[in-house]
Chain A
Amino acid sequence: MNALDRRTLLKLGAVSASVTLSGWMGRLAQAAADAKAKPKRSCILLWMNGGPATIDMWDRKLDHENGGPFKEIATKAPGLKIGEHLPKIAEFGQNLAVLRGMSTKEGDHGRGTYLMRTGVMPSAAGIQYPSIGALVSKEIGDPTSELPNFISVAPQRFFSQDAYGPGFLGPQHASLVVGDNQFNNNVPNADDVLKVQDLAKPKSVDAVNAAARIDMLRDMQEEFAASRPGGVSRSHSAAYDRAIRLMQSESGKVFDLKEEKDAVRQKYGMNLFGQGCLLARRLVEKNVPFIEVTLGNWDTHGNNFDLVKGLCGTLDQAWSALLGDLKERGLLDTTTIVWMGEFGRTPKINQGKGRDHYANAWSAVLAGGGIKGGQAIGKTSKDGTTVEERPTSSADLMATVVKALGLDHEKTNMSNVGRPIPLADRTANPVTEVLA
């Protein structure tokens, strides 16, 4: 049946709009068969852009001048204590594994971002490493799903665009971004900002014409790809397939936060990060394997303590609401949560009451699926400047996260330079102590 015949039929009302998808439904069915046995697991990355002062949050130094003014509080887990400005998170102590031995080698925003999100340093050998989200999309994602397998909520990609990309895994694992270019966490209309842009067809076009357009476009695409085969035309088709699937399915509604009760929305905090965490929960409910939510402004070179206190308020409210909702829905056991930034901050407090970039000793936190909570692993020196126990590299962390998701960190994918590259760098030593 050619496109125009279909259009004629459409006009007669004989065929529903969904039939126009038949051409690529076959491909999807095949991909579905390939993907069937994969378990439903999800990962949420809470990305703290700018480098959070983890010494003030997860690894308090009460007996040293580097510790600063914040107190320490107990969590629900015996023996696990954290900073005083995370009281709601403390309630979930049993679910948290604090990695206090993070020791990475990069104190520059751009390179540090790349390092922590890919598990490797920017490559001089021209290898385009995938970001962790693309990796999870590749390993766990369902290629036939209506929703993309990697969704970035309010990312701030200016430090390193490459650290957010699919790298050699290819465009089908690129993230769908919502809330791009937002730098103010307190936007008044977070629910509008977090919608997929341009998802609705323009009002000027009625349903019949819209279907005809897509039919005619498919014909053009197929003809072009037949005479100019290759990755460029494949990527074009893949993106349009995904976009059209999203437009025509009901799944797009997951981005409409107005579907949630006001009280639920309030619980997360009526700000971009809070609503982003709520969106992450909704996406996990739809089996999206990887979602990241960004909270920025952690680059506290001056006035660290006031700023960190404020940011902790936002974080504490949203993250605790997320953990509570996931638990209530029985999803916390299958959802691994990673909390980190590109590095920590100097234990020594500078003259402007700030803390500067510091990668030598800092903390990251894991929670939920596959994680043995209620503990801190690794130990820093009394002044917080060096790691004394269980130093953990970015590759170690990457390996730990993929193992928590039930994957083999040594499994390889073929790279753009024709060398197989493991999920986590070969040097990686996963932190098995925190794996459930």
Chain B
Amino acid sequence: MFARLRFAALIALAVPGVASAADIAPPPKPIMTADAIAGIIDRHLAADWQARGIQPTAPASDAEFCRRVYLDLVGRAPKVSELRAFLDDTEPKKRETLVEKLFTLPSHASHLAAVTRAAWLPQTVTNQQFFFFGSQFEVFLRKRYAENTPADLTVRKLLITPLRVNGANGNQRFIQADPNDPESQSLIGFYQANEVKPENAGAAISRLFLGVKLECAQCHDHPFAPYTKEQFWEFAAFFAELNALPNRRPSDTAPAGPQADKNRLNIPNTDKQVIAKFFDGTSPEWNEVMNPRQELAIWLTKPQNPYFAGNLANRMWAHFFGLGILDPVDEPGENNQPSHPALMEELGRAFAAAKFDNRTLMRGIIRSRAYQLTSKLSHPTQTNPRSFARMNLKGLTPAQLFDTLVAATGYRENPQFKNAQFAFFPQANNPRSLFLNRFASTDKPTEASTTILQALMLMNGDFVDSQTASERAEILAAIFEIPGWDTKKRVETVFLTALARMPSPEELEKFASYVDRAGADDKKRLALGDVFWVLLNSPEFLFNH
């Protein structure tokens, strides 16, 4: 009963909980501001819309914005109390204030880290062999997002971490963590997930941080882009030290030193040896102090490197819009042109000018007109998702979905259950693990698909049933039991908790009369559960819009 009261309090009271600006540390003041970034986005898109006769959608309501920004920044929809507080807030800058508040929540760092890990190490999502390395690496990313480490420093740290490769057998390599570096244990997950192979690490780094997918140049010259097989192996040669030799070599123990064979590779099945070289054809001035990965880190993260900044900014864009300005984000070429090339270029420059401050970029994107448009189609010119004239529909990650279910139902999750991240072996009594397993997917967010089994789980599974039709239902029971409310108020609250919005007058009428017609109280309770069930199964709940 105490639990019920606790929920009742949460639901009924508008908690004035949104931190005031004074509670929050002042954001760093980089040269490039968030407003300037929003201005860049608005200017380019407005020009494009005008040139192509596109009419963007109306601005998103406060409720739509609130649900969207919670999902994008902290990985779940808002709870009723959070939503009410935001809707009741009369401050003109409340959207910006909310963003600052969300940055401070631990779930912000963990959500962004999970999303980044899935993008950087997709093999850890679909391949059980690599799963552990992915979670290992996610620890590093979480800390970076919590501290808002500039993106170039994050990448540099990843590239220069010392690697002590073991394993004489070419196929059974592993990397030992560096006992002197507390983050090493986490960072090596990246290289382990890339099978401790120079060609895999090189391909991953080029795809992730230059936005250039080199893989097919591994075996032949790239069919669509001007990259040769030789260039691929020259780039891979920056990671040559992963080719552990049977005997101890200088790089195993010393972080720096003579290059020896650390910067060269044999192209497999040929007699040809290549020395590490950048894509632009230049080479580092090899010296005794810097190892190849350090040289690569410096070249890669130079603010003048347009590939690096533009690619990272584009990836961040894709996080908020469901697809990039260049999309796929790592496949430039004749077949894949950016939808707004000038915007992408300028956004990259702005990100570099902002000293690669992720939050400045996020604030800028969130403040843009495009991000704050409704997803509701109102004109035929808005249908192309790449014109960003209406917010795209995005699928939820399995964790986003379950966290949103938790927020909507009030389910009190066993803290141990929360640690379940391992999608491959579901634990029968742990709903989170069952959802992660059933909803694991590699779909692009704007092409999210639903499976029959997912539909069956949401319709008939124990978890949703226990929260909609049972005495054990947590938030629903509270909504039903609050004294003094009429049916409409109860239906309204079910809408707020499930869909983070008020029902339309027609919806309110329809659902309230459905509940009222049920008859006795216990029947009404079941009917209200039916309404909750309908909302939790609706696409409006299951997607970010």
Using CB atoms and an 8 Å cutoff, list the residues of chain A in contact with chain B.
3-4, 7, 109-110, 124-126, 148, 158-162, 165-166, 170-171, 174, 176-177, 180-181, 196-202, 204-205, 209, 212-213, 216-217, 220-221, 224-225, 227-233, 235-240, 242-244, 246-247, 416-417
> Which residues of chain B are near A204, meaning CB under 8 Å?
465, 469-470
Q: Identify the stretch in B288-296, B446-454, B481-489 within 8 Å (CB) of chain A at 4 or more residues.
A: B446-454
B273 within 8 A of A: no
Secondary structure of the B contact surface, majority rule: helix
Residues of A within 8 A of B537 (CB): 217, 240
Q: Which B-chain residue is minimally distant from A163 (CB atoms)?
A: B126
Assuming A110-B129, A239-B455, what are 19 further A-B pairs, CB within 8 angstroms?
A158-B127, A165-B442, A171-B449, A174-B449, A176-B453, A201-B459, A205-B526, A212-B514, A220-B538, A221-B538, A231-B446, A232-B447, A232-B448, A232-B539, A235-B448, A240-B450, A240-B455, A243-B459, A416-B447
**Does chain A have a CB within 8 A of B456?**
yes
- Which residue of B has the minimal Cβ distance to A231? B447
Residue on A with the closest CB to B425?
A181
B120 within 8 A of A: no
Q: Given A170-B449, A202-B460, A235-B448, decide whether A213 and B455 contact each other with a Cβ distance below 8 A.
A: no
28 residue pairs from A and B, CB less than 8 Å apart: A109-B129, A125-B331, A158-B424, A159-B127, A159-B128, A161-B440, A161-B442, A174-B449, A176-B452, A202-B462, A202-B469, A205-B530, A213-B534, A220-B538, A224-B539, A229-B377, A231-B446, A231-B447, A232-B448, A233-B543, A235-B448, A239-B450, A239-B454, A240-B537, A243-B452, A243-B453, A246-B456, A247-B456
Contact with A along B421-455 (1 / 0, CB 8 A): 00011100000000001001010001111111111
- The 8 Å CB contact of A220, one of B469, B513, B534, is B534
Which residues of B lie under 8 Å from residue A162 when comparing CB positions?
A: 126, 442
Which residues from chain A contact B510 at a C-beta distance below 8 Å? 3-4
- Residues in B neighbouring A159, C-beta threshold 8 A: 127-129
Instruction: Evaluate contact between A198 and B126: CB separation under 8 angstroms.
Output: no
- Kindly state the separation between the CA atoms of A37 and B198 in the bound complex, as whole angstroms: 53
Q: What CA separation (Å) do A346 and B542 show in the bound complex?
A: 48
List the B side residues contacting A174 at CB < 8 Å. Answer: 449, 451-452
Residue in chain A with minimal CB distance to B207: A124
Q: Which residue of B lies closest to A226 (CB)?
A: B377
Contacts of B442 in A (CB 8 A): 161-162, 165
Point out the residues of chain A lying under 8 angstroms from B128, CB to CB: 158-159
Interface centre among B446, B455, B469 (most CB of A within 10 A): B455
Closest CB of chain B to A89's CB: distance in Å?
31
- For A416, what are the chain B residues with a Cβ–Cβ distance below 8 Å? 447
Whether B452 contacts A242 by the Cβ 8 Å rule is yes
User: A230: which B residues are within 8 A, CB to CB?
Assistant: 383, 385, 393, 446
Whether B460 lies near A200 (C-beta < 8 A) is: yes
Which chain B residue has the least Cβ–Cβ distance from A200?
A: B460
Interface SS, A side: helix
Question: How far apart are A249's CB and chain B's nearest CB, in angstroms?
Answer: 13
Contact B539 A236 (CB under 8 A): yes
Q: How far is the CA of A224 from the CA of B383 in the complex (A)?
A: 15
Cα distance, A200 to B460, chains bound together (Å): 7
Pair B469/A197 contact, Cβ less than 8 Å: no
In the bound complex, residues from chain B placing their C-beta under 8 Å from that of A199 are 456, 460
**Is B533 an interface position by the 8 A CB rule?**
yes
Known pairs A124-B216, A228-B376; A198 contacts B426 (CB<8 A): no
Q: What residue in chain B is nearest A2 (Cβ atoms)?
A: B510
* Chain B residue at minimal CB-CB distance from A229: B377
The residues of B that contact A176 with a CB separation of less than 8 Å are 451-453
Q: Which chain A positions have C-beta within 8 A of B440?
A: 161
B416 at the interface (CB under 8 A from A): no
State whether A198 touches B459 (Cβ < 8 A): yes
Most buried by A among B513, B537, B539: B539
Interface membership of B545, Cβ < 8 A: yes
Residues of B with C-beta under 8 A to A197: 453, 456-457
* Distance of A180 Cα from B452 Cα, bound (Å): 14
Report how far A227 CA is from B57 CA in the complex, Å.
11
- A206, closest chain B residue (CB): B526
Q: Assess whether B393 is in contact with A233, with CB atoms less than 8 Å apart.
A: yes
Instruction: Give 9 nearest A-B pairs by CB, closest first.
Output: A158-B128, A171-B449, A124-B216, A161-B126, A239-B450, A243-B455, A204-B469, A198-B456, A202-B465
Question: Known contacts A170-B449, A197-B456, A227-B376: does B539 contact A126 (CB below 8 Å)?
Answer: no
- What's the least CB distance linking A156 to chain B, in Å? 9
Bound-state Cα–Cα, A222 to B514, Å: 19
CB closest residue in chain A, given B125: A161
Q: How extensive is the interface on chain B, given as a class?
A: 35 or more
Is B450 a contact of A177 with CB atoms below 8 Å? no
- The one of B453, B534, B542 in contact with A198, judged by C-beta atoms closer than 8 angstroms, is B453
Bound form: Cα–Cα A374–B126 in Å: 39
Shortest Cβ distance from B155 into chain A, in angstroms? 23
Interface string of B208-224 (1 = CB under 8 A from A): 00000101100000011
Q: Are B456 and A232 in contact (CB under 8 A)?
A: no
Whether A217 pairs with B424 at a CB distance below 8 angstroms is: no
Given known A197-B456, A204-B465, A242-B452, contact A224–B538 (CB-CB < 8 A): yes
Q: Kindly state whether residue B335 has any CB partner on chain A within 8 Å.
A: yes
Q: Which of A176, A177, A227, A237: most chain B Cβ within 10 A?
A: A227
In the complex, A180 Cα to B377 Cα: how many Å? 39
Task: Tell whether B375 is near chain A: CB-to-CB under 8 Å.
Answer: yes
B408 shortest CB reach to chain A, Å: 15
Residues in B with CB closer than 8 Å to A148 are 452
Q: From the candidates B125, B216, B447, B535, name the one contacting A125 in the complex (CB within 8 A).
A: B216
The answer to whether B530 and A209 have CB atoms under 8 Å apart is yes
A232 and B393 alpha carbons, distance in the complex (Å):
7
Q: How near does chain B come to A51, taking the closest CB pair, in angstroms?
A: 14
Chain A residues in 8 Å Cβ range of B534: 213, 216-217, 220
In the complex, the answer to whether A220 meets B535 with C-beta atoms within 8 Å is yes
B450 touches A171 (CB 8 A): yes
Interface residue B540 (Cβ < 8 Å from any Cβ of A): yes
- Interface status of B170 (Cβ within 8 A of chain A): no
In the complex, which residue of chain B has the Cβ closest to the Cβ of A357?
Answer: B171
Task: Please tell me if the beta carbons of B530 and A236 are within 8 angstroms of each other in the complex.
Answer: no
B335 contacts A417, CB within 8 Å?
yes
Query: Of A109, A174, A237, A416, which is in contact with the most chain B CB atoms at under 10 Å from its CB?
Result: A174
Closest to A8 in B: B517
Residues in A neighbouring B535, C-beta threshold 8 A = 220
A242 to B459, CA, bound (A): 13
* B328, B450, B457: most-surrounded residue (chain A CB, <10 A): B450
Contact yes or no, A239 B447, CB < 8 A:
no
Shortest distance from the beta carbon of B460 to any chain A beta carbon, whole Å: 4
Are A125's CB and B376's CB within 8 A?
A: no
Q: Which residues of A contact B127 (CB under 8 A)?
A: 110, 158-161
Closest to A156 in B: B128
B341 sits at the interface (CB 8 A): no
Cα A205 to Cα B385 in complex, Å, equals 40
Q: Which residues of A contact B331 (CB under 8 A)?
A: 125-126
For B310, the chain A residues whose CB sits under 8 A away are none
B439 to A: closest C-beta gap in Å: 12
**A212 pairs with B424, CB closer than 8 A:** no
CA distance A243 to B217 in the complex (A): 43
Decide yes or no whether B109 CB sits under 8 A from chain A: no
Give the distance in Å from the alpha carbon of A213 to the alpha carbon of B538 in the complex. Answer: 11
Q: For residue A287, give the distance in angstroms from its CB to the closest CB of chain B.
A: 18
